[in-house]
Amino acid sequence: ADARHAALIRWLILAATLIVAPQLLLADGGTLILHERSGALNVNVFATPSPLRAGLADFSLLIQDANTQDVLLDGDVELNLSKAGLENIQARATPGQATNRLLYAATVTIPEAGEWKLTARCRIRGQEMTLSGSIAVLPPEPPLFTYWPYFLVVPVFIGLFLLNQVLKTKRRSLKITSAR
């Protein structure tokens, strides 16, 4: 009974972690939002969260040699986000900011929803490439949807505590019954 009890608690903790953890992380990669091949370079731009929303956003770039498909990590990458009536947002993307070492990454704060223009300027191995495109940024999610994992933690731990107490009570009643 103790082994089953411990295994059940481990599975519940694992399930809670798998539900909550992805929401709390802003990870490299995300949804492909721009792609262009120019000369000897192939550039893919990804964004997280998906769909892209006002607030904190992660932009990641995969830059490859178009002929060999080798990943190129020795370049200089600048991102520019612009929207009419607002100040431009500029950021330098580097492999050092990425958790995936095959990507360049930059984290920016997008102040409001709407249609934005993203421009990525890549200078690498004597070549320069600029790609740009329009991206749709949705309004931020309501706080309840954003922070629901935090609200879930308390009921999960109360449930685990109650399960623990029920199992202890059953174990005690079994010991008393078997002692008679």
How do residues 1-39 score in pLDDT, each as one tens digit? 577 777 777 887 777 666 655 544 545 568 999 999 988
Q: Which residues pair with 63 in a beta bridge?
A: 43
What is the rounded average pLDDT for all residues in the chain?
87
Percent of the chain with pLDDT over 90: 54
**Beta strands at 114-124 and 76-82: parallel, antiparallel or unpaired:** antiparallel
Write the CB contacts of 67 (distance below 8 Å, at least 6 apart in sequence).
Answer: 40
Q: Got the DSSP string for 101-125?
A: TTSEEEEEEE-S-EEEEEEEEEEET
pLDDT in tens, 41-83: 999 999 999 899 999 999 999 999 989 999 999 999 999 999 9
pTM: 0.68
From residue 122, alpha-carbon distances to 101, 105, 178 in Å are: 17, 13, 75
How does 49-85 read in b/e, with b if 16+ C-beta sit within 10 Å? beebbbbebbbbbbbbeeeeeeebeebebebebebee
DSSP 141: P
Q: How far is CA 68 from CA 65, 72, 127, in A?
A: 6, 11, 16
pLDDT above 70 covers a percentage of the chain that reads 89
